Amino acid sequence: MDSGKLHISVPVSRNRVISKLPKWYTPESCLQFKEDFHGKVKGACQNRHTRSGGLNISKVVVVGDLYVGKTCLINRFCKDVFDRDYKATIGVDFEIERFEIAGVPHTLQIWDTAGQEKFKCIASAYYRGAQVIVTVFDLADIKTLEHTRQWLQDALKENENTSPNIFLVGTKRDLLSPAECERTENDAIRIASEMQAEYWSVSAKTGQNVQEFFFRMAALAFEESMLRELENSSLSTARIGEANVIRIDENAEAPQSKRTAEPGLGCC
Ligand SMILES: Nc1nc2c(ncn2[C@@H]2O[C@H](COP(=O)(O)OP(=O)(O)OP(=O)(O)O)[C@@H](O)[C@H]2O)c(=O)[nH]1
Ligand SMILES: [Mg+2]
Which atom of ligand 1 sits closest to the CA of residue 114? 25
CA angle centred on 111, ends 77 and 170, rounded to 5°: 55
Closest residue to atom 29 of ligand 1, CA basis: 84
CA of 92 to the centre of ligand 2 (A): 8
Which atom of ligand 1 sits closest to the CA of residue 203? 31
Check residue 43 and give its pLDDT: 87
CA of 135 to the centre of ligand 1 (A): 14
CA of 204 to the centre of ligand 1 (A): 8
Host H or E run for residue 27 = none
Beta strands in the chain (DSSP E): 5-9, 17-18, 57-64, 92-101, 104-113, 132-138, 165-171, 198-201, 245-249
- pTM, two decimal places: 0.85
Check residue 9 and give its pLDDT: 57
Q: Give the span between the Cα atoms of 28 and 39, in whole angstroms.
A: 25
CA of 93 to the centre of ligand 2 (A): 8
Residues enclosing ligand 1, CB less than 6 A? 66-72, 83-86, 88-89, 114-116, 171-172, 174-175, 203-205
Check residue 228 and give its pLDDT: 87
Q: Among the bound ligands, name the one nearest to the CA of residue 74.
A: 1
* DSSP calls for 138-171: ETT-HHHHHTHHHHHHHHHHTTTTS--EEEEEEE
Three-class DSSP category at 264: coil
Q: Give the span between the Cα atoms of 209 and 213, in whole angstroms.
A: 6
Query: Which of 67, 75, 113, 184 best tests ligand 1's pocket when mutated (most atoms within 8 Å of CB)?
Result: 67
Closest residue to atom 13 of ligand 1, CA basis: 69
pLDDT in tens, the chain (268 residues): 444 445 555 678 889 999 999 999 998 888 888 888 999 888 888 876 555 555 689 999 999 999 999 999 999 999 999 999 999 999 999 999 999 999 999 999 999 999 999 999 999 999 999 999 999 999 999 999 999 999 999 999 999 989 999 999 999 999 999 999 999 999 999 999 999 999 999 999 999 999 999 999 999 999 999 988 888 876 554 444 444 444 444 444 444 444 444 444 444 4
Phi, psi at residue 205, to the nearest 5°? -70, -50
Check residue 230 and give its pLDDT: 86
List domains and CATH numbers for the chain.
Answer: 52-231 (3.40.50.300)
Using CA atoms, how far residue 113 sits from 93, 96, 110, 119, 126, in Å, is: 7, 15, 10, 9, 8
9 strand-pairing partners: 245
CA of 250 to the centre of ligand 1 (A): 38
CA of 115 to the centre of ligand 2 (A): 7
Closest residue to atom 2 of ligand 1, CA basis: 172
